[in-house]
Amino acid sequence: MEKQQTCKLDSSSNAPAELDYQSGFGNHFSSEAIPGALPQGQNNPLVCPFGLYAEQISGTSFTAPRKFNQRSWLYRIKPSVTHEPFKTRVPTHKKLVSEFNQNTSSANPTQLRWKPEEIPDSPTDFIDGLYTICGAGSSFLRHGFAIHMYAANKSMENCAFCNADGDFLIVPQNGRLWITTECGRLHVSPGEIVVLPQGFRFSVDLPDGPSRGYVAEVFGTHFQLPDLGPIGANGLAASRDFLVPTAWFEDGIHPGYTVVQKFGGELFTARQDFSPFNVVAWHGNYAPYKYDLNKFCPFNSVLIDHGDPSVNTVLTAPTEKPGVALLDFVIFPPRWLVAEHTFRPPYYHRNCMSEFMGLIYGKYEAKADGFLPGGASLHSCMTPHGPDTNTFETTVGRGTDAGPFKITDTMAFMFESSLIPRVCPWALESPHMDHNYYQCWIGLKSHFSYEGSDCCSGEMQS
């Protein structure tokens, strides 16, 4: 039996007073909203308890190795197939991309940074507030990723969203999300993340009104916990801290209920007369889940030098090449810096991986100014980047006697990929683009000195 955890919600929202969660990552879960609703001894009996329909949702191919196979059985009042034909959604959503090519996006090696997006003036729900920043690959070829942001001010009404292209990893930055899924309900606050696997239908309510955040989407694979290697058996994100919803269902007639499906980056709608959240019981290892980033156990250098950011990986979506990620989700949480004779902020570097960064709250240690909560930056493959001038000068000015220092009240993150992202035109043309970003490094000056040394100047010596 999986551990149950309870989340209490405040009375300012329309959410219930508390939620029960199941604990674990990749476990085989079982949950029923009505005792006895789960069939015993088989998945698909001739007649299910209470007259329910059995329906399987598969996140991997049927013949995937057992350790990779993901699927769940849902026992619902009406099957999800009971709907009208899909039609192209009107109006179309022109800022969602799942095929990255010269027609939809462009290559840009420049260091890019965006200021926080403003909350829309007109009523905008999660679907309409979602827009793509960059990405690579193709949802049709089942390989690649997309990075989106969202800004919304209203709850989804009488509709559900389904992403047929890939998994969503949502990072709320401002405003809580109250998410209803076919497996149950989740409450997600800034400082937490939620993963909504491919194919699940969900609805997003906004108990605080305006909300914005970040979304990573992966095609053709799923997120998993990274291997720990020499770290050993413990550390980073613990399996038990991931929370999965418990069964909850809606019954009754819902005329005109709309399912919005993202398919190849385009949106389609189908109408039905019932809520898709009519699952009375379910079991399996394919389900939505959430995680509190404050429970992350960071590792760090305790004597000299600076660890690579990969040591802060929460989740990874791997490729077939060992150690190379389609997309890593990495965080920079509160932690002690104690390394001696060491430049402690992130070092200057060029990387074969591409890095998209966001800031949930506080300040990021490598950027003293300009990188704001709700903002973002993109440093693509082999584009140099690192601490700004103020950070460098302040750090060096402390000298070697800085002593232990704790970074507090901050939570930054990075989506890092081995693929080279192409950037969407509206992101490059955005009024929130920081066109002066490059100037944060302009003040870096040469401290080179060789007077009195025996080294040569590099000129040919006769």
Say whether 385 counts as a known binding-site residue. Answer: yes
CA distances 249 to 22, 74, 183, 195, Å, are 17, 11, 9, 20
CA distances 269 to 13, 124, 148, 296, 385, Å, are 29, 17, 21, 39, 43
Please name which of 454, 457, 335, 350 lies closest in space to residue 404, comparing C-alpha atoms: 335
Say whether 192 counts as a known binding-site residue. Answer: no
Phi, then psi, of 342 in degrees rounded to 5: -135, 135
The catalytic position among 93, 143, 306, 432 is 306
Give CA–CA dist 425/198, Å, rounded.
Answer: 26
Say whether 157 counts as a known binding-site residue. Answer: no
Give CA–CA dist 412/359, Å, rounded.
Answer: 4
| Pairing outcome for strands 159-163 and 257-263 | parallel
Phi, then psi, of 99 in degrees rounded to 5: -125, 110
Say whether 435 counts as a known binding-site residue. Answer: no
Please name which of 58, 394, 424, 416 lies closest in space to residue 265, comparing C-alpha atoms: 424
Give CA–CA dist 391/403, Å, rounded.
Answer: 17
Query: Is-catalytic flag, 306?
Result: yes
Give CA–CA dist 163/10, Å, rounded.
Answer: 30
Residues with a known catalytic role: 306
Annotated binding site for Fe cation: 349, 355, 385
Annotated binding site for homogentisate: 364, 385
